[in-house]
Structure 1
Amino acid sequence: MVITQDLPATWEKLPAAFYERTDVVTIARELIGKILATRFDGKLTAGRIVETESYNGVVDKASHASGGRRTNRTEIMYENGGVAYVYLCYGIHQLFNVVTNVKDTPHAVLIRALEPVAGIEQMLLRSFKAVHGFDLTRGPGNVSKALGIRTHHTGVDLRGDEMFIVDDGFSYAASLVIATPRIGVDYAGEDALLPYRFVVKGNPYVSGKKLKG
């Protein structure tokens, strides 16, 4: 489906089939280079995804659904893929995740960083920043702040008009997309070492320590 109106004609919303696949790690890898966009009150903000982390449901000790845990907060993870899961971290940061797989399989992908492509002035206003620096959308808390994403957006259909992810035909060279362990999940023991994080090598918006080599 091609999005028209005030959006570029090359932008196509990702279909349900993209999100409902069984391999969350593959989905996290393939989200790199796609564009995450919001359009609240007619204001479009968007950025190209340059960092993701995958969370592999009940068997993943780093996942909110580890061991089949179900709470009011995480119940959305058990829905069909293609909806938003937004949670509060440290009582401050609102973190946006893409729910994947099918009903009752709680997979999710955390969007950790974007490279802005539209609505930078609006992003700056939301982020209380005067100047566009790389920290505008570096790190998952800053992503949500810049795009206006809040916890009440949990459950929003990512094929709708308020929040959506599109493919505009662009892709990074395979050599630039690097798999690494996830950030801040030391509590997960051996699962903390899994190469479930994907980044665009050398991109200044990517969070965490710079990759060597």
Structure 2
Amino acid sequence: MRGCTLYIVWATLYRCALDIMIWNSVFLGINILHLSYLLFKKRPVKIEKELKSIYRRLFEPLRVPPDLFKRLTGQFCMIQTLKKGETYAAEDITSVDDRLSILLKGKMKVSYRGHFLHNIYPCAFIDSPEFRSTQMHKGEKFQVTIIADDNCRFLCWSRERLTYFLESEPFLYEIFRYLIGKDITNKLYSLNDPTLNDKMCRPYTSEPLRR
């Protein structure tokens, strides 16, 4: 850029070379645009305050870049709410094909035929087993009932659009496979040993991750 600028000054003041001045002005403009693009790409990516907890807890330890996380959470998902006592899914009624959600705030209770199974706390998937089952069978219904035990907020993806997006992002696809598998394992552990329920799925705290 400095060279182009000097050529423009030289061509204008000393040589009156219009063609040299024009060409170097064009090159200077292209360099300025390229520099602006690079600065734009390197700008700090701001994650919404409400989503920072799940990024730090789930995605940052797996080296998911902030810009990729923002694409994941910014295009085809929304934050929804449930009041205490409202139903997220009803067994044998609600379809498992529509969505995948992560709890942001509050607590949910999972039951089967009226019998309590386990709780769901922030930074845990709400319906990871059902999401996994839809990869093998479509048209199924929830086999459990999930009810908000507190006022809850959760991040909800359209299952179809999320699947298309993950197919175009192989790295993130593997991340999701790992996170969902781990979440299902935690749920199974809490079923086998109810005393682990509060220990393994306790609410997220803002303490920094130890590495």
TM-score range, shorter chain: under 0.3
Q: Which has the higher strand share?
A: 1
Q: TM-score, normalised by structure 1?
A: 0.26
Q: Which has the higher helix share?
A: 2
Q: TM-score, normalised by structure 2?
A: 0.26
Q: Which structure's CA Rg is the greater one?
A: 2
